Amino acid sequence: MDGFCRHCFADAPDGAARCPACGSPRLIRHSELHTLSIAHIDCDAFYASIEKRDNPELEGKPVIVGGGRRGVVSAACYVARTYGIHSAMPMFKALKACPHAIVIRPEGRKYSTEGKRIREMMQDVTPLVQPVSIDEAFLDLTGTHRLHGGSPALTLARLQKRIHQEVGVTVSIGLSHNKFLAKTASDLDKPHGFAIIGKAETLDFLADKPVGFVFGVGPSFAKKLERDGYRTLADIRRAGDKELAARYGESGLRLARLSRGEDTRAVNPERERKGVSSETTFNEDLSDLAALEDRLWPLCVKLADRAKVDNIAGQVVTLKLKRADHRIITRRRTLTAPTQLADALFRVGRELLKGEATGPRYRLIGIGISELGLSTGDAGDLFDDGALKRAAAERASDAARLKFGGDAVVKGRVLRSQNKP
């Protein structure tokens, strides 16, 4: 069986427990080792790993990266995870499980800089890198064998080592014959793992997995499937394409294919972004329109800043609110022309907010744009003489901020909300 050492990349002979060349136990063996080429790379506890890298005193301690008393866990290190803490967990729950955990406020810019470095290293081995998020991506290494003088598996192992040495964080790699299985594999051997799902073992591997194992099958669809007698992917496979398509339409057919490990989606580096959004959780629930507006404005500025950097504009504006009871409300509005201006976002957002700020208490507010396109300039409005003037003012203020720093020009509204907790 083919195998090599993930430390020194020497061949690993069958049966050896350690590398005969360097003595490392990190050997990888698989009968399809050198033929598979679709990979998923996931950074291990990314934010927390970076914090630990930057502060050696955190070594061996439970570290949580997340925001405020009301926030959620953005990342938990592997020590913290032993206490049952996981990302997206409410902070108060996490601290109940592990009161001595060290909580660090996330520093977005630092993570995105490191994320970009890692992405560039990925792009050094193949142009086909499809980012899923800041710390996760799919890679297609098909046809890179001669370029890198080694199979995709070997190239990936080298990349993994390079990221560890140069960035100082570990990543886990899943290697398989399509995206679904590569993503599944990267989760099997965390942290600093390298897992392979070959073609030959695909069906057996999936057979006993519950239907909810497939991405896109949420709790309610899973429940429906179970009610109809489909508990595992083997059950799905037995039912057949026709039956599933008849029962659940398109999503049934998709599930049937995935249950056999079939996924024809290509690794697409140009995958279109569907939307951009920005949101914030309050320290105290808010119900007052003016107070909510004060929170909405900085989000609009933040969102507009991102849109301007990427030169995109959105035609649909969505306001998101989370009630005190965690129920999420979204309200959307389609504009006549796409926008990337904070002023325009705020005007629409405020209109939408007015309809909802009628008493209920909210814990979160967010605003997003979708139906994205390249920005094509600011549209004037025949019935709003100020529209172009305000657009010009915002562009001028952007230019000043670029020259003199982030806070060089702010709207009076910002100063008001800054004085509040």
Partner 1 sequence: MKLTIDRAALIRTLGHVQNVVERRNTIPILGNVLLSAEDGALKFAATDLDLEITETVSADIESGGSATAPAHTLYEIVRKLPEGAEVEISMTSGDPRLQIKAGRSQFSLPSLSPSDFPVLSAEGLSHDFKVEASELARLIDKTRFAISTEETRYYLNGIHLHAMEAEGASLLRAVATDGHRLALSETAMPDGASGMPAVIVPRKTVQEVRRLVDDADDEVEVSVSESKIRFQIGGATLTSKLIDGSFPDYERVIPRENDKRMTIENKVFANAVDRVATISVEKSRSIKLSLAEDTLTLAVNNPESGQATEELMVTYGFDAIDIGFNARYLLDVAGQIEGDTVDILFQDSASPALVKDSADEHALYVLMPLRV
Q: Catalytic amino acids?
A: 136
Tokens of residue 123, six digits: 């792009």
Least CB distance to partner 1 at residue 148 (A): 30
Least CB distance to partner 1 at residue 383 (A): 5
Nearest to 384 by CA among 419, 335, 417, 420: 335
> Within its chain, how far is the Cα of 213 from the centroid?
18
3-state secondary structure of 323: strand
Residue 273 is a binding residue for partner 1 (CB under 8 A):
no
Which CB atom, from 207 or from 329, has the smaller least distance to partner 1? 329
Looking at residues 300 to 359 of the shown chain, list those that interact with partner 1 (rule: CB under 8 A): 311, 313, 315, 333-338, 348, 351
Least CB distance to partner 1 at residue 316 (A): 11
Residue 381 is a binding residue for partner 1 (CB under 8 A):
yes
Residue 373 is a binding residue for partner 1 (CB under 8 A):
yes
Least CB distance to partner 1 at residue 206 (A): 37
Most distant pair of Cα atoms in the chain: their distance: 79
Four-residue CA torsion sign, 410, 412, 415, 417: negative
Could you give the CA distance from residue 127 to residue 139 in angstroms, rounded to a whole number?
A: 8
Q: Using CB under 8 A, which of 120, 208, 288, 384 touches partner 1?
A: 384
Residue 218 is a binding residue for partner 1 (CB under 8 A):
no
Tokens of residue 86, six digits: 């996981």
Query: Residue 421, preceding bond cis, omega within 30 degrees?
Result: no
Residues across the chain = 421
What amino acid is encoded at 298 in this protein?
P
Distances in Å between the Cα of 143 and the Cα atoms of 102, 126, 365 are 45, 10, 46
Question: Which helix (H) or strand (E) is 5 found in, with range?
Answer: strand 3-5
Count residues near partner 1 (CB under 8 A): 26
Q: Using CB under 8 A, which of 1, 88, 200, 392 touches partner 1?
A: 392
Which CB atom, from 388 or from 402, has the smaller least distance to partner 1? 388
Could you give the CA distance from residue 42 to residue 218 in angstroms, rounded to a whole number?
A: 22
> Within its chain, how far is the Cα of 51 from the centroid?
19
Tokens of residue 115, six digits: 């994320």
Residue 268 is a binding residue for partner 1 (CB under 8 A):
no
Which CB atom, from 377 or from 412, has the smaller least distance to partner 1? 377
Least CB distance to partner 1 at residue 306 (A): 17
Which one of the spans 76-84, 106-114, 184-192, 369-377 is the region binding partner 1 (CB under 8 A)? Answer: 369-377
Which CB atom, from 275 or from 380, has the smaller least distance to partner 1? 380
Per-residue x/- mask for partner 1, residues 143 to 172, rule CB under 8 A?
------------------------------
Instruction: Note the residues at the interface with partner 1 (CB under 8 A).
Output: 311, 313, 315, 333-338, 348, 351, 371, 373-374, 376-384, 388, 391-392
